[in-house]
Amino acid sequence: MLDEATKPTDPRVDLARNRTNMADFRTQLALDRTTLAWIRTTLTMASFGFGIVAFFRSIRQPSPSEETPKLQQGAIHFGTALILLGIAATVLAGLSHWFTLRRLLRGESPVLTQWPLSITVAMLCAVIGLLGLWALFAR
């Protein structure tokens, strides 16, 4: 009987182990790309909110109507909501990345959720938009 030191090794075992390590590496890189895309999206959202707030705080109408202050305040509230949503989404993207990376490092599969971050942020954007429209047209 052959002992472990003299047993011929199958080269396919090393190739399979190498492929698994590379697959783990590619998965981690994909996770990093996704998180960076979220950061770009949330920074854009917050920047747009800052732009809206700054613009509507700076304009002065020569002869404002009764509607002008209401519209300006509505726009400022909408911009502020975008800033807050951008900050919250950035924090959630970071936490999601951290928890998923921890699972991968432990050799576990990532968890698929019923409400992923993309759907959650999209729904919150829709709610903010609808509330903004309602505030503008409700009397």
- Exposure string of 51-66, with b = 16+ CB inside 10 Å and e = fewer, is ebbeebeeeeeeeeee
- 69, pLDDT greater than 90: no
93 close to 38: Cβ distance less than 8 angstroms: yes
**What's the farthest any 2 CA atoms get from each other in the chain?**
100
Question: Which is it for the CA torsion 39, 41, 46, 51, positive or negative?
Answer: positive
DSSP string, 66-93: SHHHHHHHHHHHHHHHHHHHHHHHHHHH
Q: What pLDDT score was predicted for residue 88?
A: 94
Q: What pLDDT score was predicted for residue 63?
A: 73
Q: What pLDDT score was predicted for residue 39?
A: 94
State pLDDT tens for residues 14-33: 666 666 777 778 888 898 99
Q: What pLDDT score was predicted for residue 32?
A: 92
39 close to 45: Cβ distance less than 8 angstroms: no
The structural domains of the chain, with segments of one domain joined by +, span 36-137
What is the Rg, in whole angstroms, of the alpha carbon atoms belonging to the chain?
A: 25
pLDDT category, 139, cuts 50, 70, 90? low
pTM score, whole prediction: 0.75
Element at 1 (helix H, strand E): none
Q: Which amino acid is at 110?
A: P
State pLDDT tens for residues 79-125: 999 999 999 999 999 999 999 999 988 888 888 888 888 898 999 98
